[in-house]
Amino acid sequence: MDKQRFTLAVLAVLPLVMACGSDTGGDTGGVSAASGVPGVHWKVDSVTVDGTTRHVPAEADADLRIGKDGTAEGHYGCNQFSAKAAFTDHHVELTHARQTLMACEPNRMAFERALAATLTDDSLTVETKGDGLTLTTHDGDRVQLTKEQDASLYGTKWTITSLGEDGTTASLPQQSKGSAYLTFDKKSGKVTGRLGCNHVTAKATVRDGRIALGPASTTRMMCDASLMHTEKSLLRLFDGTATYELDHRTLTLTSENGESAEAVAAR
């Protein structure tokens, strides 16, 4: 009798053991799918909807970064967006998406609508191959992306996008956008560029996360008031030491007196 009871008990436990084994296999698949995708900056190449492929317009910014903390962010082509991201097996789902509400050229907006609808269309199948990533909906629509390398401090044209003071940051006025940039040259130990109106040259010594900027040598032109305001703010970074932070293709400079400038790498 005891032997019979023992046999029945073993048979009753076996299905549970097999079920646990199946769950473990599913978890492994989820980890595998997520391992190479989070923490990488993915540049969007194209989106295909109903068999029609749209490539990213030349002037548009379209990218995706999924963090290891379950968040996602990027650009649809015109607007920035953020969302929650969850991996299951070989799938990822982006939910609770929020975006800015800017208006751009019609072709950028058309691309943005297609990309936004595809990325947030329920669960997406994840497929990686080399430096490429493909996200596919259950209807067969897909987004093609490519891993984008981080920009180097040296040799990159850093276009100033915003200025800050005492922890408050503001984007450049419309008239000033694209007019200010800096390029650091490791060989010469100098930084050159444009401050909004005038061109600038100065010594730049990079060490331990800091850049010692020498006095600025500039041309002597006069420009629109907004350009001169941008230039005046940037000049306060020179003849002193600033900390710098590189995040993929974004550079932030912060002076000892709290002045800051944020720049993006030209593509």
- pLDDT of res. 18: 38
- pLDDT of res. 236: 95
CATH class of 34-147: mainly beta
* Whole-number Å distance between alpha carbons of 128 and 144: 10
Q: How do strand 91-99 and strand 168-171 relate by DSSP bridges?
A: unpaired
Topology alike, domains 34-147 and 158-265:
yes
- pLDDT of res. 33: 56
Assess whether pLDDT exceeds 80 at residue 267: no
- pLDDT of res. 266: 81
Q: Using an 8 Å Cβ cutoff, are 155 and 182 in contact?
A: no
- How much of the chain exceeds pLDDT 70, in percent? 87
The set of residues, in sequence order, having a beta carbon less than 8 Å from that of 24 and lying 6+ positions away, is none
- pLDDT of res. 34: 62
Task: Report which of residues 14 and 82 the model is more confident about.
Answer: 82
CA 224 to each of CA 111, 173, 185, 265, 266: distance values in angstroms, whole numbers, following the listed order = 34, 11, 29, 25, 24
Task: Report which of residues 26 and 99 the model is more confident about.
Answer: 99
Q: How do strand 168-171 and strand 158-165 relate by DSSP bridges?
A: antiparallel
| Residue 68: CA count within 13 A, CB half-sphere | 5
Residue 186: alpha-carbon gap to chain centroid: 25
- pLDDT of res. 7: 38
The whole-number average pLDDT for the span 64-91 is 94
Q: Is 20 left (phi over 0), alpha (psi -120 to 50) or beta?
A: alpha
Can you spell out the DSSP letters for 100-138? Answer: ------HHHHHHHHHHHHHHTSSEEEEEEETTEEEEE-T
Can you spell out the DSSP letters for 186-238? Answer: TTTTEEEEEESSSEEEEEEEEETTEEEE---EE------HHHHHHHHHHHTTS
Assess whether pLDDT exceeds 90 at residue 228: yes
* CA geometry: angle 23, 28, 34, nearest 5 deg: 130
How does residue 9 score in pLDDT terms, banded at 50, 70 and 90?
Answer: very low
End-to-end CA distance of the chain: 78
The whole-number average pLDDT for the span 56-73 is 92
The set of residues, in sequence order, having a beta carbon less than 8 Å from that of 261 and lying 6+ positions away, is 160, 162, 163, 164, 233, 234, 237, 252, 253
CA 215 to each of CA 202, 228, 236, 239: distance values in angstroms, whole numbers, following the listed order = 6, 18, 10, 4
* Whole-number Å distance between alpha carbons of 95 and 85: 7
Per-residue model confidence as pLDDT tens digits over 236-259: 999 999 999 998 889 999 999 999
Residues facing 171 on adjacent strands: 162
* Whole-number Å distance between alpha carbons of 79 and 75: 6
Q: Provide the CATH number for the domain formed by 158-265 in this structure.
A: 2.40.128.270
The mean pLDDT value of the chain amounts to 87
Q: Which two tokens stand for residue 45?
A: 């190449």
The set of residues, in sequence order, having a beta carbon less than 8 Å from that of 188 and lying 6+ positions away, is none
Domain residue extents for the chain: 34-147, 158-265
Assess whether pLDDT exceeds 70 at residue 32: no
